[in-house]
Copies of this chain bind each other. A is one copy, B any other.
Amino acid sequence: MTSPPPRPLRADAKRNCDRLIAAAKSEFAERGASASLEDIAERARVGIGTLYRHFPTRDDLIAKVLASGTETIVARGRELLGHARPGEALVIWLRELVDHQTTYRGLTAALAQGYIADNGTQLCASCDLITQAGQALLSRAQATGEIRPDSEVRELILTAHSAAWIAENTEDPAAVDRLLGILFDGLRVVRPSRKRA
């Protein structure tokens, strides 16, 4: 499960790699996660072949660019395990997960592929870590009876995923919150009764 030994790169290779990541970050931010790889290489002032050498697949590049964000959301999960109200902690974390999945336009499509394909790519490894963080929060919330006992982590991830997808495809930012509101209501075991129309 531990990642394979990342043996040290030659100094110039390391430098190129860093430049590629920085360039990709900018390019993804400006043009979305399906930005042109050639443009990224050019921006990094590096041959296109070098990009392919370091990142055989677009997903590998995306994973590296997202690495720190992944660490953050996973760490946040650990943090929220200490939250007084487990159900609320889960909901808070899911909202932040949506933000993460929304870092760049077109990201959800890439992530979705990462989930289903389960190719040995780095992106899948990141997804696994996130799933585990979610599982911990879910178990705790279920133990207190706040969240449906029959719900699975997979659902939570899908939930966040679909909200993120909406965020990508809507201009209305409130839409995401409304969708999440519905979803969270659906996940809860006991809901306050509501006034009739």
What residues make up the interface of A, taking CB atoms closer than 8 Å to B?
A: 109, 112-113, 115-116, 142-143, 145, 148-149, 151-152, 154-155, 158-159, 161-163, 165-166, 169-172, 175, 178-179, 181-187, 189-191, 193-197
The answer for the CA separation of A95 and B73 in the assembled complex, in Å, is 33
User: Of B148, B162, B185, which contacts A194 at CB under 8 A?
Assistant: B148
User: Of B113, B181, B183, B184, which contacts A169 at CB under 8 A?
Assistant: B113
Closest CB of chain B to A175's CB: distance in Å? 6
The answer on a CB contact under 8 Å between A112 and B169 is: yes
User: Of B116, B161, B183, B196, which contacts A182 at CB under 8 A?
Assistant: B183
Instruction: Sort A-B residue pairs by CB-CB distance and give the 5 closest, nearest first.
Output: A162-B162, A186-B186, A149-B197, A182-B186, A112-B169
The answer on a CB contact under 8 Å between B189 and A196 is: yes
For A175, the chain B residues whose CB sits under 8 A away are 154-155, 158
Closest CB of chain B to A139's CB: distance in Å? 10
Query: Within the oligomer, what is the number of copies of this chain?
Result: 2
The answer for the CA separation of A154 and B182 in the assembled complex, in Å, is 13
Mind listing 5 A-B residue pairs with CB under 8 Å? Answer: A116-B171, A143-B197, A154-B172, A162-B166, A182-B186
Closest CB of chain B to A30's CB: distance in Å? 19
User: Of B145, B178, B179, B185, which contacts A196 at CB under 8 A?
Assistant: B145
Since A145-B197, A155-B179, A186-B186 are in contact, a sample of 16 more A-B pairs with Cβ atoms closer than 8 Å, ordered by chain A residue number, is: A115-B169, A116-B169, A142-B197, A149-B196, A149-B197, A151-B182, A154-B172, A158-B166, A158-B170, A158-B179, A162-B162, A181-B186, A182-B187, A189-B196, A190-B194, A191-B191
The answer for the CA separation of A130 and B170 in the assembled complex, in Å, is 18
The answer for the CA separation of A165 and B179 in the assembled complex, in Å, is 14
Closest CB of chain B to A135's CB: distance in Å? 15
The answer for the CA separation of A158 and B170 in the assembled complex, in Å, is 10
Closest CB of chain B to A91's CB: distance in Å? 13
